[in-house]
């Protein structure tokens, strides 16, 4: 095979043994990699408790990983989320995916659990289990410093070791699998880090065809105002989006009680750039470089983190947001979940978050001290335990990122039906509702949005399975990436074939959700969005969402997706997509 190595490394932390899984070519055809293949491997075990030793933690690359296909340097991580109870997954940049592939592995599946803290050294020879007790409690920076010379290092920080439900996995200092608490999954297995190196060259079926496809993709990137324009991600990172959500009155402020932040202009990406002189820190094969760092190596916050560590908690100092984000990276916290939990806490307790208190609470969260113990349980549990469940701005238990759904109705629907919980990348509605790509849609209308969201979910699931980074799809599409996939694998594939693989991936997640007891009741938004208006825009109102219209759009989505009226999978749809009806 070209594109895949055909081998998935299995590491059992209980027995400290290893094995190799060789999926069939048919499996790779149905589940081409990344999110879809990780989901396929997760499904038979998804009914187990998240912390059961047999619950795997899966790292998965795809056929494009390690090639020159633009934005393909990704790795998908999946397990059952301790935060949400649902299947949890997150994509990370950095060199982890390319390094795994260069070591000869399409993926890595961790099973079992070790009482002792271990590190996993992964090469083309397989895995070596090494004692990591000396790194117990160490922050991620200390881990990276202790492990020089590896092509990639992924690790957990003290947050995961101390049981924070939203703990992240930090990769190569500047990147992370942030969402869904996968860091805690790794720590529960007794794994502190993965260190990966490899030298195997990637096998590409048609190098000339790949070069031609890449050329067309790069041309589209260059024509994209969002990716390569003078105000775009290439220059300012994804934080460039903050000015847009501020102008559209959809910047979550004060724990989503407002949608405009008066100090937004002083907290934007250009303000940060003027003070901190950022440089791009691109992932392998990425011509965009949306991850930015300062000259002294500090990570600059992306869109969600900058917005949430300023507007959401009413902090007018963007440099404090930089400190908070870097603290999160060192402690192994998901900045979105951490910020939303803090904002909920501030709302419920009525106590503002000054600079010292903010940084102190983040540290307390990761170390399990004082109020941090409650914050580490996430916004939903925190709000329930404090008797104010309405103050939890979560969907399926996952904290909501930095776009207010009252300002974009496709986003509202996408948030609600997203299989992993609140996420604006699962269907990328910001593309058409804010960025006007491929064309603009009316952001204050549900008209046509059910199908638009379903199709975009399929596209983004396909992207996560190639893999290719979500922002790439603000410019290119599956048409162009199908050509890259065909050139790499030698398999003639059309955009429609990739979309079908994406549809299968999403439906597989729907099957897992149903097996875990999730229903339409979970495909919903916090009541606040239906009850309270957003702040008035320059020349427009932001009314509360109309619940009847929302429910009607969700019902249409269920029909388009081939689900029943309760949002549950149908046997005929599952089988038509080549999916087993039962997990066993």
Partner 1 sequence: MDRILKSFAARLAAAGLAGPGDALFLGQDDAVACNEPGHPDRDVAEAALRALQASALVCVRPAEPYRTILDFLLTRHPEIITPGDCETRLFLHDLPVARDFSAEAMTGALRRRKGVILPGPRLAAPGSVGPEQAFVTVSSMCFAAFVLFFEEYLDDLRHGRTTPEQREAFARAVSHLPGARADRPALARGPFQDAAQARRAMLEAGRATVAFGLVDSYFGNISCKLGGVVHISQTGSSLDELAGCIDACPLDGSSCAGLTASSELAAHAGIYAADPTAACILHGHPRFAVILSLDCDLPDCPNRGRCHLDCPRPRRAGGAPVVPGEVGTGPRGLCHTLPPALASERAAIVLGHGLFATGRTDFNEAFAHLADTENACREEYFRRVRDLGG
Least separation in angstroms between residue 584's CB and partner 1 is: 30
Least separation in angstroms between residue 271's CB and partner 1 is: 8
Which residue in the block uniquely carries the two structure tokens 């398999």? 491
Residue with Cβ nearer partner 1 (390 or 572): 572
- Decide if residue 494 touches partner 1 (CB under 8 A): yes
Verify cis geometry, omega within 30 degrees of 0, for the bond prior to 438. Answer: yes
Residue 75 tokens read as 């790795």
Residue with Cβ nearer partner 1 (211 or 440): 440
* Separation of alpha carbons 476 and 266, rounded Å: 32
192: helix, coil or strand?
strand
Site for partner 1 in 412-451 (CB under 8 A): 432, 434-441, 447-451
Least separation in angstroms between residue 109's CB and partner 1 is: 33
Site for partner 1 in 506-565 (CB under 8 A): 556, 559-560
Which residue in the block uniquely carries the two structure tokens 């009847």? 548
Q: Which of 71, 110, 313, 456 binds partner 1 (CB under 8 A)?
A: 456
Strand partners, 108: 9, 59
Site for partner 1 in 196-235 (CB under 8 A): 216, 218-226, 228-232
**Which window, 157-165, 244-252, 324-332, 505-513, contacts partner 1 (CB under 8 A)?**
244-252
Residue 404 tokens read as 């207010």
**Do strands 191-196 and 118-123 pair parallel, antiparallel, or not at all (unpaired)?**
parallel
Site for partner 1 in 249-288 (CB under 8 A): 265, 268-271
Burial class (CB in 10 A: 0-12, 13-18, 19+), 363: middle
Residue 274 tokens read as 């003027």
Residue with Cβ nearer partner 1 (234 or 330): 234
| Closest CA relative to residue 480, chosen from 49, 70, 59 | 70
Residue 533 tokens read as 């208006």
Residue with Cβ nearer partner 1 (146 or 247): 247
Site for partner 1 in 282-311 (CB under 8 A): none
Residue with Cβ nearer partner 1 (233 or 345): 233
Least separation in angstroms between residue 499's CB and partner 1 is: 8
Backbone angles phi, psi at 20, to 5 degrees: -130, 130
Residue with Cβ nearer partner 1 (380 or 504): 504
Residue 192 tokens read as 């502190």
Least separation in angstroms between residue 220's CB and partner 1 is: 7
What's the DSSP call for residue 32? -
* Separation of alpha carbons 401 and 275, rounded Å: 25
Least separation in angstroms between residue 331's CB and partner 1 is: 29
Number of residues that bind partner 1 (CB under 8 A): 55
492: helix, coil or strand?
coil
Residue 140 tokens read as 């991620």
* Separation of alpha carbons 139 and 85, rounded Å: 26
Least separation in angstroms between residue 103's CB and partner 1 is: 34
Residue with Cβ nearer partner 1 (20 or 576): 576
Least separation in angstroms between residue 538's CB and partner 1 is: 10
Q: What are the distances in angstroms from CA 501 to CA 28, 36, 148, 488, 523?
A: 10, 8, 38, 17, 23
Q: Which of 323, 497, 509, 535 binds partner 1 (CB under 8 A)?
A: 497
Residue 278's H or E segment, with its range, is none
60: helix, coil or strand?
strand
Residue with Cβ nearer partner 1 (167 or 452): 452
Residue with Cβ nearer partner 1 (296 or 538): 538
* Separation of alpha carbons 420 and 181, rounded Å: 11
- Decide if residue 240 touches partner 1 (CB under 8 A): yes
Least separation in angstroms between residue 436's CB and partner 1 is: 5
- Decide if residue 482 touches partner 1 (CB under 8 A): yes
436: helix, coil or strand?
coil
List of residues contacting partner 1 (CB under 8 A): 216, 218-226, 228-232, 236, 240-244, 246-247, 265, 268-271, 432, 434-441, 447-452, 455-456, 459, 479, 482, 494-497, 556, 559-560
């Amino acid at each position: 095979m070209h594109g895949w190595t055909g081998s998935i490394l299995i590491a059992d932390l209980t027995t400290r043994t290893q094995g190799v899984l060789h999926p069939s070519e048919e499996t790779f055809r149905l589940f081409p990699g990344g999110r879809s293949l990780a989901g396929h491997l997760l499904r038979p075990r998804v009914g187990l408790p998240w912390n059961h030793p047999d619950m795997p933690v899966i790292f998965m690359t795809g056929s494009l990983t390690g090639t020159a296909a633009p934005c393909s340097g990704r790795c998908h991580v999946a397990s059952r989320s301790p935060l949400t109870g649902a299947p949890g997954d997150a994509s990370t940049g950095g060199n982890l995916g390319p390094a795994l592939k260069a070591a000869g592995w399409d993926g890595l599946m961790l099973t079992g659990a070790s009482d002792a803290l271990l590190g996993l050294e992964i090469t083309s020879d397989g895995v070596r289990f090494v004692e990591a007790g000396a790194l117990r409690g160490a922050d991620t920076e200390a881990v990276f410093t202790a492990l020089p010379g590896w092509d990639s290092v992924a690790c957990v920080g003290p947050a995961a070791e101390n049981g924070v439900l939203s703990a992240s996995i930090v990769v190569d200092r500047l990147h992370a699998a942030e969402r869904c608490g996968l860091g805690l999954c790794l720590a529960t297995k007794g794994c502190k880090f993965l260190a990966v190196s490899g030298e195997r060259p990637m096998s590409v079926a048609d190098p000339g065809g790949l070069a031609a496809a890449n050329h067309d993709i790069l041309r589209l990137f260059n024509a994209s105002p969002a990716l390569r324009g003078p105000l775009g991600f290439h220059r300012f990172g994804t934080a460039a989006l903050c000015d847009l959500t501020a102008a559209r009155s959809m910047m979550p402020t004060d724990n989503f009680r407002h949608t405009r932040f008066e100090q937004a202009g002083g907290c934007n990406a250009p303000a940060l750039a003027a003070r901190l002189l950022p440089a791009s820190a691109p992932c392998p094969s990425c011509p965009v470089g949306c991850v930015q760092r300062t000259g002294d190596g500090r990570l600059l916050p992306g869109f969600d983190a900058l917005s949430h560590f300023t507007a959401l908690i009413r902090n007018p100092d963007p440099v404090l947001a930089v400190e908070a984000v870097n603290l999160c990276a060192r402690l192994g916290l998901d900045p979105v979940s951490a910020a939303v939990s803090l904002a909920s806490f501030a709302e419920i307790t009525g106590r503002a978050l000054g600079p010292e208190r903010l940084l102190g609470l983040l540290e307390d969260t990761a170390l399990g001290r004082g109020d941090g113990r409650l914050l580490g349980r996430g916004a939903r549990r925190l709000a329930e335990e404090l008797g104010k469940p309405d103050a939890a701005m979560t969907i399926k238990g996952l904290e909501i990122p930095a776009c207010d759904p009252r300002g974009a109705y496709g986003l509202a629907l996408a948030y609600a039906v997203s299989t992993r919980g609140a996420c604006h990348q699962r269907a990328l509605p910001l593309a058409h509702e804010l960025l006007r790509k491929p064309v603009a849609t009316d952001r204050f209308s549900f008209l046509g949005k059910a199908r638009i969201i379903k199709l975009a979910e399929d596209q983004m699931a396909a992207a996560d399975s190639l893999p290719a980074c979500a922002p790439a799809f603000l410019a290119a599409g599956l048409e162009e990436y199908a050509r890259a996939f065909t050139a790499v694998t030698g398999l003639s594939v059309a955009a429609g074939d990739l979309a079908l693989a994406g549809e299968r991936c999403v439906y597989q997640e729907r099957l897992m959700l149903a097996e875990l007891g999730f229903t339409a009741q979970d495909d919903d938004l916090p009541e606040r969005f239906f009850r309270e208006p957003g702040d008035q825009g320059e020349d427009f109102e932001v009314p509360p969402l109309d619940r009847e219209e929302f429910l009607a759009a969700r019902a249409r989505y269920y029909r388009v997706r081939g689900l029943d009226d309760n949002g549950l999978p149908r046997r005929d749809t599952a089988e038509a997509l080549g999916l087993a009806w039962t997990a066993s």
